Chains A and B, each alone.
Chain A
């Protein structure tokens, strides 16, 4: 029997009013503006854009404000919003080689053309709390300026420096293969085994914490892939689309992108000499941790392609891809807090009946029991 229960409406409405009041906090403190979030919490904004899978800084800032800073809730809001918009086009693949560099480092080559550009980084800070930020009032001095701007052209470490000796594998499908369809998990159901296109899309929108942990697991021995960071670059790239009504490609603006390429050892096989292999990470905004982790997991998930033994969860594409999405995960994990009164009533009945049956059996056969 199904019993419909009503009566929560007033409580729900009042809970949402209370939520709005709590979100605002103490009204003697000025209300935070979304452009303050967009400017001053820009790394939160980057994460919400990446995992919300929608590049729009203003919307990400709004979502963060609305979610009271709960980034997964904000990502959920962005994912919901993006379903309301039509898709005009697919962009041409962005050309990260032409990035306007804001940061570019290599852990494998010290003296590389274009140089090691630190950019705005937390690296080498002492991780001491800076109380002047709390004292509220010091405008930081303007950043130093070099005599010359950074080089326009920065060679890619893996392709331009390491590849000329054939020491690193080529990317399997290059520009020649551009007629092949590109998988899209937002439009078609995911099936396994998954191609690298689908895996990279899944990782790019996957939860930073999850991808980080899985990447970490590969370093700790749950996959045989010791990695170096060949190159990390962060900066702006132009996005181009080719609208039908124009018939040629146009540039519609810049987006911020972090890219990471890892170099991994490969012992070689019967047919292939030893060489380095690659992992790739690409995310919206400045998010190096996510980009590095993504590259580690991308490489680990190429185990099948490389003929490697699967020895850890990071190499198991089904495990990774089915658990990386924090909106899916939070939906299923958190749904168990919602009313399950009837389900639980059923369970309760069942356990009571089982107990009764066991008690009844025990009483009806006392002699056998005693004889044992």
Chain B
């Protein structure tokens, strides 16, 4: 099943995978299917509503589905750690929209996305369901991931241009 493709192969989130800080590794092991789902959900959460809607209408317009939980706007309290690694504290909230849908065969898709776009959350839940059902949107996800990676890389190159190159002047008294 294409949905089982390991997320490391794609570029979009690879950074979060490699850059593990040894300190915070208390997370339980997750299976490959869950890892794949986490990955596509993270890509969908970063994709704007129009892109999702266009692709859905063009490819899945005939898919039958029902709303399980209508899109709802709420908040997540974002937590930080003192010193980056110490005691937890509540930093402040962020807006989040969630939605759940059911396909005709009973597959349930969920979405939690940053911001207040109900339609984006609904499409993200639909794509989650389609991916769970048969991984049909894998190439779409890979495509999105690649685009996100390119944007990120281009930006990171602009940031890299502001890196300081120190050079030391040789002074007479040191010979």
| A250 beta carbon closer than 8 Å to chain B | yes
B161 touches A145 (CB 8 A): yes
A249 in contact with B74 (CB, 8 Å): no
Q: Which residues of chain B (122-170) have a CB below 8 Å from chain A?
A: 152-154, 156-164, 166
Minimum CB distance partner of B165 in chain A:
A115
Bound state CA distance, A301 and B75, in angstroms? Answer: 30
Cβ–Cβ < 8 Å partners of B84 in chain A: 96-97, 156, 158-159, 171, 259, 261, 280
Q: Which residues of B contact A92 (CB under 8 A)?
A: 79
Residue in B83, B100, B153 whose beta carbon sits within 8 Å of that of A158 in the complex:
B83
CA distance A156 to B92 in the complex (A): 23
Interface range, A side: 35 or more
Cβ of B42 < 8 Å from any Cβ of A?
A: yes
Query: A55-B94, A117-B162, A238-B16 are known contacts. Are A93 and B81 too (CB-CB below 8 A)?
Result: yes
In the complex, A71 has a CB within 8 A of chain B: no
Q: Does A35 contact B (CB under 8 A)?
A: no
Question: Of the candidates A144, A145, A204, A245, which one forms a contact with B92 in the assembled complex, judged by CB atoms under 8 Å apart?
Answer: A204
Within the complex, which residue of A120, A171, A205 is in contact with B85, where a contact is CB–CB below 8 Å?
Answer: A171
Interface residues of B: mostly helix, strand, loop or mixed? mixed
Contacts A88-B75, A248-B30, A252-B76 given; indicate if A182 touches B89 (C-beta within 8 A). Answer: yes
Distance, CA A50 to CA B94, complexed state (A): 10
The interface size of chain B toward A, counting residues with CB under 8 Å, comes to 63
Q: Which of A47-64 contact B (CB under 8 A)?
A: 49-50, 53-56, 58-59
Known contacts A197-B88, A255-B94; decide if A248 and B38 are in contact (CB<8 Å).
yes
B 1-33 to A, binary, CB cutoff 8 A, 1 in contact else 0: 000000000000101101101011011001000
Known: A145-B161, A201-B91. A250 touches B24 (CB 8 A): no
State whether the Cβ of B87 lies closer than 8 Å to any Cβ in chain A: yes
Q: When chains A and B are docked, how far (Å) is the Cα of A53 from the Cα of B80?
A: 14
Q: Is the CB of B83 within 8 A of A284?
A: no
Q: Does A200 contact B (CB under 8 A)?
A: yes
Q: Choose the segment among A1-9, A79-87, A343-351 that binds chain B (4+ C-beta atoms closer than 8 Å).
A: A79-87
Q: In whole Å, how far is A299's beta carbon from the nearest beta carbon of chain B?
A: 11
Q: How far is the CA of A178 from the CA of B156 in the complex (A)?
A: 33
Q: Can you name the residue of chain A whose Cβ is closest to the Cβ of B20? A: A98
Contact of A55 among B73, B78, B89, B100 (CB under 8 A): B78
CA distance A115 to B93 in the complex (A): 32
B163 A196 Cβ-Cβ under 8 A: no
| Contact of A149 with B by CB under 8 A | yes
Q: Does B45 contact A (CB under 8 A)?
A: yes
Q: How far is the CB of A66 from chain B (nearest CB, A)?
A: 17
**Complex interface: chain B residues within 8 A of A195 (CB):** 87
Given known contacts A254-B114, A283-B91, what 8 new A-B pairs fall within 8 Å (CB)?
A93-B88, A100-B152, A145-B157, A145-B161, A146-B161, A198-B89, A239-B114, A259-B84
Task: Please list the residues of chain A having a beta carbon within 8 angstroms of any beta carbon in chain B.
Answer: 49-50, 53-56, 58-59, 82, 85-98, 100-103, 110-111, 115-120, 143-150, 152-153, 156, 158-159, 170-175, 177-178, 180, 182-186, 195-198, 200-201, 204-205, 238-239, 241, 243, 245-246, 248-255, 259, 261, 278, 280, 282-284, 298
4 A-B pairs with the lowest CB-CB distances in the bound complex, closest first: A171-B86, A253-B114, A146-B160, A149-B156
Residues on B lying within 8 angstroms of A by beta carbon are: 13, 15-16, 18-19, 21, 23-24, 26-27, 30, 34, 38, 41-42, 45-46, 72-96, 98, 100, 110, 112-116, 152-154, 156-164, 166
Could you list 9 examples of A-B contacts with CB < 8 Å?
A98-B15, A102-B159, A111-B166, A145-B154, A182-B89, A197-B82, A200-B82, A252-B76, A278-B83
